[in-house]
A and B are shown apart, each in its own frame.
Chain A
């Protein structure tokens, strides 16, 4: 963009920077608070004394995590799940988005597929029937029970389909002239030009799979098979719900031992680190995204 030298433009720049930086800080606060909590003593946390600076600084929590075998087992399961899901999701997304980006004239039956996709996004049979299917496929307690039910990401397919529609026709036609078949066109023309969008849906896939805890609760019948977020979820106990619906001395005592808030905060911090590592890797695609040419019809 051309540098604008006027004073008003300069003021505008300062205002924009201020707003954006302020927003950044506001978003950083809760995580900062959680990091501070993870480095504080549990008494200080119970007394609600931790703000943005750790109180009674300790690294005990992180030592405990290092020794928590289940934490790392679950961590590994989550990594595996994210990796498998990413591959399957991305392959299916581009495979489906490309034909769907064609008009019905070119791809007969396109609308039927589209309606089936939309319908499946809106309606679901619910927990029990899906469980029965997964169980009858003998997928319970396997990594596939976490991967396969979410293989088709309809939202992402529609998103990429729309990016594909925006790809200049001339590029495709040129490839056809060169004698490329649809698969080659997809791989050589569409995918390279849609990298920012593909990086976006890849991020959705990674984040969605990493964060999902519910399927772990249903399809894994043993804690040792839980993915990380399910494991963390199983440790965050809602004492209020417990008291309201009835409790006894033993269960309350056991729960209080678990509700180790500084330790749980540390677990959250560690669980976010992979996402912090992944993000910058994908970020470069949507900041220096390959620019779609100006050729428009």
Chain B
């Protein structure tokens, strides 16, 4: 069998080489990585991998992506040696994957970042069927995690009833929030959210922004109102900082998402009446000077500067924005404090959309001798380690990594696999009781969560002198997730589940053009270059230039699935 495989590979290489010309064929060395034996000299199984890295992995001196506490753990527990065929991040990783596919030398296991790429691999019969190994080897806990998505997650990786990949999970279901400087609210004696349901109205938002502009509580001399990003809408919740997502939510509109309207027809969120109303609100606010007058040309860095300079104290964003965005404000101003609200919908609810449950996938090369190892790694990292009760004793090296907050990308699979509600559960079951003193921090079994709880307490005990990271954790957890928890408990959410997250053929061809149209026209409407009714022109242009085709394709694809 192995001989046959080697022969096949030689043939492929030979044919490719002869295609390249004879001069090159002579140079082809037959000892390419895949030719090498899949075991090391000391009998360990080798897995070649494509690894998604992070720019700042924070690995301790001497450790690398190929040799670190996690790979050593795999070595020790599974007798497996991980060899990286390529390491890269972001776009560069996607390019390396494409090059690997093009050259016909896939690593044994790798991450693919889109459903389209996965589809391509499946259709061309390049990756292994994991149905059986998943059924036989996946631990109960892992199965339970996937089941918490009601089958949506595994379905994404399933083709013709065969599971072709391990899907990463993405349970980020939360409202886009409005983050406001609490210290400024206090300073000016403003009153917000009188009924205490953590929802504020558009009018309250406008009045607060107005008060900030008139009184300049940041003493910047040049207050600017609410800044928005010129792209106005992002593809998902994680990227929703500075978008109009929360304003659209007021009218139960979800731009950039494909949803079902009240008649059961599939529509594009950016073309709905609700989005028009939201744009109308923004245009009005821009006209009144409540929105940053330089909206449209501000870059991300500009807006961060506005925040840190005290020129603005209101931004929209996801629950985690304090961790990576707002923390800069606190670096400049020790007294800075934020509060998070969600805008109240015209139906009195917080209108939110559900996130795509799957982001990326782990695939195993077809004919790889040990596909079960993928599931074993899955069990090891997302069940055994994830649920380990005493990390310090059982996995001292990993415990040290947690302390150093080494990036998760250093694990063999750079994916997250957790229950759909885990962020919220961890908060309400573990963090909140500990912070409130109902339980002891030491009782928290999950290492990462324990760290979070500790840092939050550090901040609460001494807000003045706490580290910025503690300030950030406090805000993202207690204010951000706290808001989600409250709205969930009080049943304030009105969920919309988009019907389609993928990319159709027409989207690939015409999507860029349609997006350009959308971005251009939305800015024109908000800045008043075009009247609000121009929105209808936009909608008809959108439909004509490919939108109708896209909707038909989605409908056909969904019909096929049922």
Contacts and interface: CB of A to CB of B under 8 A. Distances in A.
Interface of A: 42-43, 46-49, 127-128, 131-133, 135-138, 217-218, 221-224, 234-235, 237, 239-240, 242-258
A246 B28 CA distance: 41
22 contacts: A42-B331, A46-B331, A48-B309, A127-B99, A128-B99, A131-B99, A132-B20, A132-B103, A136-B20, A138-B28, A217-B95, A221-B84, A221-B88, A222-B84, A234-B55, A242-B90, A243-B234, A244-B234, A245-B239, A249-B238, A250-B407, A252-B325
A138 B29 contact: yes
Contact of A237 (B27, B28, B55, B235): B55
Contacts of A218: 95, 99
Contacts of B53: 223
Interface in B233-268: 234-236, 238-242
A131 B98 CA distance: 11
Given A131-B103, A136-B24, A253 B324 contact: yes
B27 A258 contact: no
A49 B72 CA distance: 46
B328 A257 contact: no
Nearest to A230: B92
Interface in B363-408: 407-408
Nearest to A135: B103
Contact of A240 (B300, B324, B409): B300
Interface in B1-35: 13, 16-17, 20, 24, 27-29, 32
A163 B403 CA distance: 64
B297 to A, nearest CB: 13
A5 B484 CA distance: 82
Nearest to B304: A46
A96 B320 CA distance: 60
Q: Which are the 8 A-B pairs with shortest beta-carbon distances?
A: A48-B305, A221-B86, A249-B320, A256-B324, A243-B239, A246-B236, A258-B55, A247-B238
A193 to B, nearest CB: 37
Contact of A243 (B20, B98, B300): B300
Nearest to A242: B239
A117 to B, nearest CB: 19
Given A48-B305, A252-B238, A223 B323 contact: no
B103 A47 contact: no
A246 B115 CA distance: 14
Given A136-B24, A234-B89, A237-B55, A253 B103 contact: no
B323 A249 contact: yes
Contacts of B318: 249
Q: How large is the interface on B (under 10, 10 to 19, 20 to 34, 35 or more residues)?
A: 35 or more
A240 B304 CA distance: 12
Interface in B273-315: 299-302, 304-305, 308-309
B16 A132 contact: yes
Given A47-B309, A224-B64, A254-B56, A132 B170 contact: no
Given A48-B305, A249-B320, 11 more contacts: A47-B305, A48-B301, A128-B99, A131-B99, A132-B16, A135-B103, A138-B32, A242-B239, A245-B235, A248-B170, A258-B56
Contact of A138 (B27, B54, B325): B27
A239 B450 CA distance: 30
B87 interface: yes
B172 interface: yes
The binding surface of chain A is classed by DSSP as helix
Contacts of A245: 235, 239
A43 B308 contact: yes
B92 A137 contact: no
Contact of B55 (A47, A222, A240, A254): A254
A221 B87 contact: yes
B332 interface: yes
B28 A252 contact: no
For B17, B324, B325, B327, the residue with the greatest tally of chain A CB atoms inside 10 Å of its CB is B324
A129 to B, nearest CB: 9
B37 interface: no
Contacts of A244: 231, 234-235, 239
B96 interface: yes
A247 B27 contact: no
Given A43-B331, A253-B324, A136 B27 contact: yes
B102 interface: yes
B28 A235 contact: no
A83 B308 CA distance: 45
A235 B301 CA distance: 16
A252 B324 contact: yes
